[in-house]
Amino acid sequence: MSPATQSQKHLALVLEGPDGPFTLKELPTPTPKKGEVLVKVQSCGLNPADWKIPKYKIILTEFPGVLGFDIAGELVEVGEDVSNYEAGDRVFFQSQSYIEGGGFQQYSIAQASLVSKIPESLSYDEASTLPVLIGTAYSGLYAEFPYGLGLVPPVTDEGYGKYKDTPIFVTGGASTIGQGAIQFAKISGFSPIITTASLKNEEALKKAGATHVVDRSLSNDDIIAEIAKITAGKQVQHVYDSVGSDITQKLSVDLLSQSGSGGTVAFGLPWLTVSEADYPSVKMAKIAASPHLPQNFELFKSLYTSNKLSIWIKEGLIIPNRFEVLPGGLNGVGGGLKRLEADEVSRLKLVVHPQETSL
């Protein structure tokens, strides 16, 4: 199907300026260029970054823009030099640009080398819970410092299971990104895999790969003491902070600095609120998870063009999140982002169906 047989315009939820507002409007439906594909967006997941970007005025510098990073849909057209995909393929991918590539719209453009086919066992909604889970966790763990922990990726034979008997700590295990970090830590062989969460999520997080779940309501000092018991005093040198709050950032650097030998922590948005000068033994990475960034492109390309993702999904090593479909298509995004900002969502992905949108 080509744009000539589609509507020449489609509905999109557009961020008009650095701090909003979001406006529902029509945009021209693009034609894929060389190496690109055009996807009819069937499901798009909401992420904390979707409210953090306008609130903290970060990342997006040109407006208007279209957010929405977790995309699953039907491929409708391929550009020149794309041979491994065809119209009708079901695909998922992480948004790669902020106008034509955003997910809060009915059609989205992606680079073919950064797209993965959806296994037959997954629905569009299930698949839309995966791109940012995969991308942010993968880049935070395996991108070279200062963009990640700099670990050896498990997509290589050298990296698969490499970190056996090495402890790792993940804050916020019940978050989408926390679950992703836990799952990839398991693939990399880490043990113990320790995370913080509400204890009501303990069973699910252990199924995802965590070996120990520490009550997130404990004080930082008590959490560090619990971790010391779990590791029998062995120093934790790798931390993935999926929460990025003042409290979890302080917890992360205090844990790494307590023995003096230090380590490396990867922080998600909004990045650093602690002073690097106060923790000279701790290396602090700032996760930049977008696959189209120069420092990430080859890392993501090697992942998406391999067959490892499909294998790990089929083997249950990568698990889709639970999801809730918000009514009203793109009109449901605003209410969903308010719930995310208020921390009212745990171990659940909010998704919208852009095709169900009406003005």
Residue range 4-33, pLDDT digits in tens? 435 599 999 999 998 889 999 999 999 999
Mean pLDDT of 99-108: 97
Three-state SS annotation for the chain: CCHHHCCCEEEEEEECCCCCCEEEEEEECCCCCCCEEEEEEEEEECCHHHHHHHHHCCCCCCCCECCCCEEEEEEEEECCCCCCCCCCCEEEEECCCCCCCCCCECEEEEEHHHCEECCCCCCHHHHCCCHHHHHHHHHHHHCCCCCCCCCCCCCCCCCCCCCCCCCEEEECCCCHHHHHHHHHHHHCCCCCEEEEECHHHHHHHHHHCCCEEEECCCCHHHHHHHHHHHCCCCCCCEEEECCCCHHHHHHHHHHHHCCCCCEEEEECCCCCCCCHHHCCCEEEEECCCCCCCCCCHHHHHHHHCCCHHHHHHHCCCCCCCCEEECCCHHHHHHHHHHHHHCCCCCCCEEEECHHHCCC
The pLDDT score that the predictor gives to residue 272 is 77
For residue 3, what pLDDT is reported?
Answer: 45
> Over pLDDT 70: what percentage of the chain?
97
Kindly state the average pLDDT of the residues 154-166.
96
Lowest mean pLDDT of 172-181, 221-230, 259-268, name the range.
259-268
Looking at residue 292, its pLDDT comes to: 82
The mean per-residue pLDDT over the stretch 309-314 comes to 92
Mean pLDDT value across residues 182-208: 97
pLDDT band, very low/low/confident/very high, at 104 (cuts 50, 70, 90): very high
pLDDT band at residue 359, thresholds of 50, 70 and 90? confident
How far lies 178's CA from each of 41, 132, 141, 274, 351, in Å?
25, 11, 11, 20, 18
For 166-233, the three-class secondary structure string (H helix, E strand, C coil) is: CCEEEECCCCHHHHHHHHHHHHCCCCCEEEEECHHHHHHHHHHCCCEEEECCCCHHHHHHHHHHHCCC
Categorize the per-residue pLDDT at 307 as very low, low, confident or very high, splitting at 50, 70 and 90: confident
Instruction: Give buried/exposed letters for 147-186 (b at 16+ CB in 10 A, else e).
Output: bbbbbebbbeeebeebbeebbbbbbbbbbbbbbbbbbbbb
Residue 184 pLDDT: 98
Which tens digit of pLDDT belongs to each residue from 237-288? 999 999 989 999 999 999 999 867 789 999 987 667 898 999 999 999 999 8
Q: Supply the mean pLDDT for the chain.
A: 94
Mean pLDDT of 299-316: 92
Residue 97 has pLDDT above 80, yes or no: no
pLDDT score for 2? 54
Q: What are phi and psi of 14, to 5 degrees?
A: -105, 130
Q: Which domains does the chain have, with CATH numbers?
A: 3-130+320-356 (3.90.180.10), 134-286 (3.40.50.720)
- Mean pLDDT value across residues 53-70: 91
